[in-house]
Amino acid sequence: MAEYGRDCRAQPFMTSGHGSAQASAVLTAEGIGKRFGSGATAVTAIDEVTLSVKQGELISVIGPSGCGKSTLFNIIGGLITDYEGEVRIDGRRVSGCHPDIGMVFQEESTFPWRTALENVEFPLEVRGLPAAERRQRAQQFLGLVGLTEFADRYPGELSGGMKARTAIARTLAAHPKILLMDEPFGALDEQTRLLLGDRLSQIHRELGQTTLLITHSITEAVHLSDRVVVMSYRPGRIKRVVDVDLPRPRSSEIIESEQFGHLVASIWHDLREEASRGLAADEASRRSS
């Protein structure tokens, strides 16, 4: 209940000072750090993370599991409020959940008692839109993710990929300027993920939302992004930022290209060391527990 006790409405965004980042950056994170616990068992989840995302840009954050990706996502989205550093939108410092940010969670997050359409209507209900308008807007976004036929199905009747798309449509329906996605296709197989990636790419082209995509898939990162942020393991820091200068529009067929292969190899080169440290740490913690 502690989580829900921190009511987002209680803390609308605050303004402080001026934007220090470049003018075109819609979203900036400066010197973000977060520790969990205290004393000997304290874990520094992320440390000194600074990044800025330009208007309409799609940036991926990639790193081994446990490196603090979800922590960063929750801090930028305003669900974690005690952290070091600053999050800025259009140069203004924000705290708490901001209406300009839309979040898509890593876990399965559709409401099982609502149909796909009713799920997408949720944020519109919260805002008090009239029923007819709500329905129409929800149908539009469900169409955008290719689920028009499944509007009246409950999540229990949908596949994993369809549920992920429903969650994305729900967030898009709220019209956020900035889209944060935490491994939205994390539980899906590689082929499905590539096809849904194409869909996401197309949506990004149509809506032009500034997007921060968290992923553990190198292929997905290179396929979709303008830039890929590679994170280190414990503490989670930015290890390298890779510009993906592949032509757009892109489709998943781009994975056949030589340039794509080079980018994947280069990211894996950096990630490999971090991933093996993550694996070793995970095995060590299982041994001792």
Partner 1 sequence: MSRAAYLRLATLLLVWAAWEALARSGLVFQGVVPSSLTVLASAASELGSSNFYPHLWRSAEEIGVGFAIGSAAGVGLGTLMGVAVFLGRMAHPYIHVLAPTPKIIFLPVLMILFGVDIGSKIAMGAISAFFPVVVATYDSVRLVPPVLLRVARSFRASRWQTVVKVYFPSMLPAVVTGMRLGLGVAIIGTLLAEIKLSNRGLGFLAIQRYEGFHIPDLYAVLLIIFVLAVAANIAIGRVADRLQRRHVISRRTPSR
Question: Does residue 215 interact with Mg ion by CB under 5 A?
Answer: no
Is residue 174 a contact residue for partner 1 (CB under 8 A)? Answer: yes
Q: Given candidates 21, 51, 58, 67, which one binds ligand ADP under the rule CB under 6 A?
A: 67
Span from 32-40, 52-60, 158-166, 263-271 in contact with partner 1 (CB under 8 A): 158-166
Size of residue set near partner 1 by CB under 8 A: 39
- Residue 109 or 232 with smaller CB distance to partner 1: 109
Residues in contact with ligand ADP, shown as a per-residue x/- string from 21 to 50 under the rule CB under 6 A = ---------------xx-----x-x-----
Cα separations (Å) of 23 from 53, 58, 59, 91, 177?
11, 17, 18, 8, 16
Query: Considering CB distances under 5 to 8 angstroms, the limit depending on partner class, which of Mg ion, ligand ADP, partner 1, none binds residue 36?
Result: ligand ADP
Q: Which two tokens stand for residue 281?
A: 């740490």
Closest CA to 123 of 102, 154, 107, 145: 102
- Strand pairing partners for 281? none
**Binding flag, residue 176, ligand ADP (CB under 6 A):** no
Which residue in 28, 60, 70, 201 binds Mg ion (CB under 5 A)?
A: 70
Q: Identify what 71 binds: Mg ion, partner 1, ligand ADP, none; CB under 5 to 8 Å per kind.
A: ligand ADP
Q: What is the DSSP string of 26-91?
A: EEEEEEEEEEES-GGG-EEEEEEEEEEEETT-EEEEE--TTSSHHHHHHHHHTS----EEEEEETT
Could you give the CA distance from residue 38 to residue 156 in angstroms, rounded to a whole number?
40
Q: Is 196 in the site for ligand ADP (CB under 6 A)?
A: no
Contacted by 1, from partner 1, ligand ADP, Mg ion, none: CB < 5 to 8 Å by type: partner 1
* 246, 203, 195, 76 alpha-carbon torsion, rounded to 10°: 80
**Per-residue x/- track, 86-115, partner 1 (CB under 8 A):** -----------x-x-xxx-x-xxx-xxxx-
Burial of 285 (0-12, 13-18, 19+ CB in 10 A): exposed
Our finding on whether 197 is near partner 1 (CB under 8 A) is no
The residue type found at 216 is H
Task: Determine how β-strand 178-182 pairs with β-strand 101-104.
Answer: parallel
- Give the Cα-Cα-Cα angle 168, 154, 149 (nearest 5 degrees): 70
Q: How far is the CB of 29 from Mg ion (least distance, A)?
A: 17
Interface with partner 1 by CB under 8 A: which residues?
1, 3-4, 6-9, 77-79, 97, 99, 101-103, 105, 107-109, 111-114, 122-123, 125-126, 154-156, 159-161, 174, 187-189, 191-192
Interface with ligand ADP by CB under 6 A: which residues?
36-37, 43, 45, 63, 65-71
